[in-house]
Amino acid sequence: MNVPKDLRYTKTHEWVRQEEDVLVVGITDFAQSQLSDLTYVELPSTGDKVEAGDELAVLESVKAASDVYAPVRGTIVEVNDQLTDSPELINTDPFGDGWMFKLEPENPSDVEGLLDSDQYEESIPEE
């Protein structure tokens, strides 16, 4: 299971990468492997104001549907439109081209409250 050390994580399997004043958000390698072949992605809208824990996106696969949650409070500033036509990018490159949305946090220090890679790895259920 790939868990990059430079990211922050949520207990609901989202990853967060800080890029200047914006947070890039996607789902983890563990989450995409549990869903398997993604067939549809519903993304939030640019400009949406969100609270930590809000349901922001829906992923559908041949196995199941799953929600994606806001890691912190803030505003959606960009979504990955490539996923509309190519949801499989989340399966093939969850930490790269498979990113889902960018969020401008209301309080940038909220990221420090998310899990680090070691804490996230400990939270992943045993297969």
Q: What is the CATH number of the domain that holds 98?
A: 2.40.50.100
pLDDT, mean of residues 38-43: 96
Q: Residue 35: CA atoms inside 13 Å, Cβ hemisphere, count? A: 27
Q: Which two tokens stand for residue 112?
A: 């420090």
Residue 68 falls inside a structural domain? yes
Decide: 75 and 49 in contact? Cβ < 8 Å: yes
- pLDDT above 90: residue 107: yes
Residue 52 falls inside a structural domain? yes
d(CA 89, CA 43): 14
Q: Residue 32: CA atoms inside 13 Å, Cβ hemisphere, count? A: 26
Residue span of the structural domain in which 71 resides: 16-117
- pLDDT above 70: residue 127: no
d(CA 110, CA 85): 32
- pLDDT above 80: residue 13: yes
Per residue in 48-66, pLDDT (tens digit) is: 999 999 999 999 998 889 9
Q: Which pLDDT value is given to residue 125?
A: 79
Q: Which pLDDT value is given to residue 126?
A: 72
Q: Which pLDDT value is given to residue 30?
A: 94
Per the structure, the count of domains in the chain is 1
Decide: 10 and 69 in contact? Cβ < 8 Å: yes
CA-CA distances (angstroms) from residue 1 to 24, 34, 37, 94? 20, 11, 17, 12
pLDDT, mean of residues 101-121: 96
Q: Which pLDDT value is given to residue 63?
A: 82
Decide: 40 and 98 in contact? Cβ < 8 Å: no
Residue 4 falls inside a structural domain? no
Q: Which pLDDT value is given to residue 64?
A: 86
